[in-house]
Structure 1
């Protein structure tokens, strides 16, 4: 009996590969650097005000904040989203092997579409526990500068003031000095649950989002490598990863809008009482099109980010397995 237990434990350990997590970390770091500028634009479009369209948002950020405005909050994602992607890719790959071991008795058995679907959904669900605080802090830092109506500051319309009736920029009302100060401020004012604001909307985004991320990638890789005898070429990985990223981000945009709005809402009392209230309020005040705000940016940024992510992951994995 004891020998059987040891064999079962060894078999389970064979399903766990540490290199998947390391490769995911490397791919994640590459994708963050490539995609952060457009991620800032996406966040401003979804949770900010005063932007007419994507191009107007880009030009406004550049004119008022220069190039550095696009990289606001980069240090935190670079340190944290790399770990997040490490967990996502490591979890997805190891979950596939575990499912293959349970269903087919061999962790090396190729996964079918149903296995990939289950692994993707589980990855999306578990990733929220780490991803929700990361996204919250990133968005709060990205929204540090907000357009505020001058008349709300009792400046416009005053005969003694020379300030015109237009939007002016002031620094974020919280004045976060950095990621650690942001986390500390949220914990002091909102408690631990404050770091998970918008987590429910993130589940609605990431469970189907990762399904439409990993499945298309696998399908496109198979289409671009029809013989299946050799590993996909790097160009195939890059193209498959980019297309999968665009598909995933575009379809996830409505839930992403709700998540971004709830996480950017740092007012007291809250503007949004919950997911349903955020959806209803956004629809009533801005119409159905509000849920597709940032979809163009998501489609554009999703391609290079995911192409870089998958290529960095696959190249790193190939290197580690050759050692």
Structure 2
């Protein structure tokens, strides 16, 4: 059995950082649509954020995921690549056959399960910071108009973590982790598997490895597929994680699904699906392209030494 290749973790870290920079503005819009109230359509949400918070509003809470989601993706990509390699070696020591669907599925599910351990707290803090600006209506003296006062609950990621730990303990950092598992285990299968097969299919003739364009396109399509199909459980996760910011509404995953359906109908579980699918393309394209290029550079550097 081969050893763990650390290059996969390093390349995954760099890819994660690239995806955060590219996708955070639309991620903020997605979080507001799923967990907030009164934002309406995607375009209305974008205009409201810009009108009240300027461009900085789209990058709210980005410093924390930039530092931490990179680690989260490092674990996901590192676990997937090494697990797939080990399984493939165990099933066929010649390693000449193309990736098997069963191998890829098991490796994807393992990556999704392990990554939630790190990604749960990261996502929680990110959602809290993205949702911390809320409005409260206060009637003015003439009673015909209302003034909106915008308040912030957290000064930053460190303050947010301290508040959660102080009020809810360590378990509070994993609020919504159950919904995240239900989202990420199938989500990673629909992320890595389409990417592997698409990149092979798009590979130029007489080339042993996919071109940069093939990687970019395959990664983008895989991201759009994965995030689009993950939207219903992503809505539940976002609501659970944004909950308790002011008043707790949901007891857990089942209660969140029940209340959301009873109050807003089946369409609530597809809220933000457009943003998810659209942002999934550039985020994942940047992720996979940076991952593959970094991996190739590290292997080339190792061979030259």
Task: Work out which of the residue numbers 15, 19, 27 in structure 1 matches 2:7.
Answer: 19
Say whether the 8 Å CA contact 1:234–1:311 is kept in structure 2: yes
Task: Work out which of the residue numbers 45, 67, 86 in structure 2 matches 1:79.
Answer: 67
CA distance in 1, matches of 2:186, 2:134: 31
Equivalent position of 2:151 in the other structure: 171
Equivalent position of 1:50 in the other structure: 38
Say whether the 8 Å CA contact 1:50–1:147 is kept in structure 2: no
1:111 Cα deviation after fit: 2.4
Could you tell me which runs of 5 or more consecutive residues in structure 2 were left unpaired when the two chains were aligned. none
Equivalent position of 2:113 in the other structure: 125
Equivalent position of 1:60 in the other structure: 48
How many residue pairs end up in the alignment? 301
Q: Report SS of the residue matched to 1:273.
A: coil
User: What per-residue deviation string (whole Å, max 9, x for no partner) do you get for residues 210-239 of structure 1?
Assistant: 000001111211221264742111111100
Task: Work out which of the residue numbers 211, 215, 220 in structure 2 matches 1:233.
Answer: 211
User: Do structure 1's residue 303 and structure 2's residue 281 form an aligned pair?
Assistant: yes
CA distance in 2, matches of 1:95, 1:163: 64
1:12 Cα deviation after fit: 3.7
Following superposition of structure 1 onto structure 2, how do residues 94-133 of structure 1 map, counting pairs within 5 Å?
94-105=82-93, 110-133=98-121
Q: Report SS of the residue matched to 1:129.
A: helix
CA distance in 2, matches of 1:195, 1:29: 22
Distance 1:226 1:80, change over 3 A: same
CA distance in 2, matches of 1:276, 1:228: 52
User: What per-residue deviation string (whole Å, max 9, x for no partner) do you get for residues 24-48 of structure 1?
Assistant: 1111111100000000000000001
- TM-score scaled to structure 1, two decimals? 0.89
Task: Work out which of the residue numbers 68, 80, 88 in structure 1 matches 2:76.
Answer: 88
Following superposition of structure 1 onto structure 2, how do residues 203-218 of structure 1 map, counting pairs within 5 Å?
203-218=181-196
Distance 1:184 1:212, change over 3 A: same
Say whether the 8 Å CA contact 1:98–1:107 is kept in structure 2: no
Say whether the 8 Å CA contact 1:100–1:108 is kept in structure 2: no
Larger radius of gyration: 1
Equivalent position of 1:224 in the other structure: 202
Could you tell me which runs of 5 or more consecutive residues in structure 1 were left unpaired when the two chains were aligned. 1-10
CA distance in 1, matches of 2:52, 2:114: 39
